[in-house]
């Protein structure tokens, strides 16, 4: 179960790196406008906010990568909890599909980390 938990946590981290790239670099470009269904005016007006949001997604990814690479269950639990809370908030306030693209993968990884239990002392 620990391997599955780490794979899912890494998947969530990679997704958040993807969100970082989309929000920081492609928000005000045709790719970002298509993905987020925005007009050029809307994407231009909100680009600075999107860059900030992308940076936060990068911090979530860094936290999860740290948790997996250092074998820190506590860090993974905290990071995944933050992902789930942010995903639920985004799904309720911004776009319902965020529940599927952010909250659900985070929740599945969180459940697996919890199910894996604490590492045993050697």
For residue range 97-114, list pLDDT tens digits in order: 999 999 999 999 999 999
pLDDT at 79 over 70: yes
Tokens linked to 4: 């599955």
> What is the number of other CB atoms lying within 10 angstroms of the CB of residue 119?
10
* CA R_g for the chain: 16
Q: Is the pTM of this model over 0.85?
A: yes
Can you give the residue ranges of every domain in the chain?
A: 2-20+53-116
Q: What is the pLDDT of residue 54?
A: 97
User: How would residue 1 be classed by pLDDT, with cut points 50, 70 and 90?
Assistant: confident
């Amino acid at each position: 179960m620990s391997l599955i938990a780490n794979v899912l946590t890494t998947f969530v981290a990679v997704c958040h790196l993807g969100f970082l790239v989309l929000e920081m670099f492609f928000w005000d470009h045709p790719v970002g406008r298509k993905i987020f269904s925005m007009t050029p005016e809307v994407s231009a007006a909100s680009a600075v906010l999107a860059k900030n949001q992308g940076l936060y997604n990068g911090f979530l990814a860094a936290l999860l990568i740290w948790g997996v690479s250092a074998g820190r269950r506590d860090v993974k639990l905290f990071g995944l909890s933050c992902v789930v809370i942010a995903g639920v908030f985004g799904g309720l306030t911004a776009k319902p599909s965020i529940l599927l693209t952010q909250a659900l993968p985070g929740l599945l990884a969180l459940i697996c980390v919890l199910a894996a239990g604490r590492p045993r002392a050697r």
